[in-house]
Amino acid sequence: MPYSVGLQTAASAFLSAGFATQFTFGVVIFLLIVFAISTFQTEEADAPVPLPSYSIFTILPFFRKRYDFLNWGFHATGQSVFQFQLLRNKVIVVSGESARQTFFTAKGLDLTEGFKILSGAIPMVRGVTSNLQPRRIAMIHKRLAAVQRNAPLNDLIPLILDDSRRIMETWGSAGKFDPFDNVYTLLFQTTLRSLSCTEISNDPQVVSRLKTLYDKLDNGTTPATVLVPWLPTPAMIQKLWATKEIYDIVTDAIHTREQSGVSRNDTLQMLLDCGDEKLVVVGFIMGLLIAGARATGTTASWMMTFLGCHPDWRARAAAEVQGLLAGNPLSSSNTESLSARLAMLPLEVWESETPVLDAIIKETTRVAQPHTAMRRNLGPPVYIDGKIIPTGAYVVYPFSDVHLDPELYPDPWAFNPGRAEVNKEVPFSYVGWGGGKTLCLGTRLAKVELKLIAAMFLLGFRHSVVNKAGLPTMPTPNWNDILLCRPPPEKTGYISYERSDIPL
């Protein structure tokens, strides 16, 4: 009887306590549960070796310093495959040639499920960008392929160049900027142009607001918002509000188009003309905007940085573009602006006659795309290097395992587009755009964007890379920054530029 009275008194005291006390108590209980799970879990004989630490101590390193954490895991276990817990989620990390081959080809390893749990920065709206039926996912993939067909992609070229001209003109005749701000902003604009509609991409205020909102999603992506999204943390509330605003901007643009009755040559019109469900249209724009802008923006920022540090490759790339202009009768005249002349080059020229730019893009994605490929095993269990990946487990493969492998890429941190090709018998020796059954579906558009912006900047400006003091510097990509590979502030390289004599 005294025990029941005591419990009743304790319960009453808890219910009458303030929210802060209740919340703190809940967090403590939650951490105790996590501790118990990590302490008493058992493993099968052929399971990967676990990390020598409790799961509570793996959460922050995985999200905040992933490159260092994964390298430490391989070193601490002495294995090419190891595992750890992210709360209730079993995560298995793999490396090596055979593991890479299985990872990119195994049928049961699902990209969508893996990315949803382990990334968390895509705006999640149930039925729009998350919890999608396979039919809707397939439809979004089909529409993205349609955007990149010859005719629509060719139509985008002058629009991307005009956006580039307009933004580059705001930079003035000379100055200094952080490429992860200015170049990334430029790529955000061109990606909006390519994947949304004129109502959004023609309005600088809306574009700026969208970029701010997507930045909030990135900054608000914390271990808590990914692993316990039901917990009302300030970061989660910020993400929810940002997602709602993005959703409202996109749906308002769709409503404006439908009410106007005006047909335009853009991606939104293509989606509407196909008669797609409204949820598919909204999900296509919301999800693909950030996915495209992040990856392409990172590549563009580093590409300009590397070229500013390597004047020989800058000169070769500029000469290649000048050769394209000189070889095309329509674009060889110097009376037109640079953007207008470049717009006269057809798509097939950009795709098949730019080996130098192709090599530069490939080398940039190798050394400065800090991807960790994520999958979830939907079943049945699969073995990688003799270790079982049970159904429901998450599997990650760090691109650094292959792209920074000195045996495949001697002096791997060096930017060298002219390096010798890797032996083609080595499976998946380059995975900058994915591999196996999961290739980046926006690769064609991304490469065209990168080439057009590079052409505008290389011919329209002269540039180098300096530190805060204005002295030449050569920054190194920071793979712990899982979004931009951006160096820490004290090691950031700034683009110092001045306009050339060629009018933009």
Between CA 366 and CA 362 the distance in angstroms is 6
Residue 42: CB atoms within 10 Å: 5
The answer to the question of residue 388 being in a domain is no
**What is the pLDDT confidence band of residue 132, given thresholds at 50, 70 and 90?**
low
At residue 226, the pLDDT reads 73
Is residue 496 within 8 A of residue 463, CB to CB? The reply is yes
Between CA 225 and CA 223 the distance in angstroms is 6
The values of phi and psi at residue 472, to 5°, are -55, 140
**What is the pLDDT confidence band of residue 464, given thresholds at 50, 70 and 90?**
very high
> Which tops the pLDDT comparison, 334 or 119?
334
Cα→Cα distances 111→70, 379, 440, Å? 20, 13, 11
* Amino acid in position 287: G
> Which tops the pLDDT comparison, 229 or 233?
233
Between CA 477 and CA 81 the distance in angstroms is 25
| pLDDT tens readout for residues 136-166 | 777 888 888 889 999 999 999 999 999 999 9
The answer to the question of residue 40 being in a domain is no
The answer to the question of residue 24 being in a domain is no
Tell me the CATH number at 333.
Answer: 1.10.630.10
Is residue 174 within 8 A of residue 499, CB to CB? The reply is yes
> Which tops the pLDDT comparison, 414 or 31?
414
Between CA 204 and CA 200 the distance in angstroms is 8
Residue 125: CB atoms within 10 Å: 18
**What is the pLDDT confidence band of residue 176, given thresholds at 50, 70 and 90?**
very high
Task: Tell whether residue 440 is among the known ligand binding residues.
Answer: yes
How many domains, the chain?
1
Between CA 417 and CA 322 the distance in angstroms is 19
The answer to the question of residue 363 being in a domain is yes
The answer to the question of residue 6 being in a domain is no
**What is the pLDDT confidence band of residue 119, given thresholds at 50, 70 and 90?**
low
Nearest of 366, 107, 77 to residue 92 by alpha carbon: 77
**What is the pLDDT confidence band of residue 2, given thresholds at 50, 70 and 90?**
very low
Nearest of 438, 432, 288 to residue 376 by alpha carbon: 438
The answer to the question of residue 338 being in a domain is yes
Nearest of 119, 137, 293, 298 to residue 200 by alpha carbon: 293
Averaged pLDDT of the chain:
86
The answer to the question of residue 97 being in a domain is no
At residue 26, the pLDDT reads 46
The answer to the question of residue 413 being in a domain is no
* Helix %, strand %, coil % of the chain (to 5): 55, 10, 30
Q: Tell me the pTM.
A: 0.88
The whole domain housing 355 covers 151-368+441-499
**What is the pLDDT confidence band of residue 123, given thresholds at 50, 70 and 90?**
low
The percentage of the chain sitting over the pLDDT mark of 90, rounded to a whole number, equals 62
The values of phi and psi at residue 74, to 5°, are -65, -40
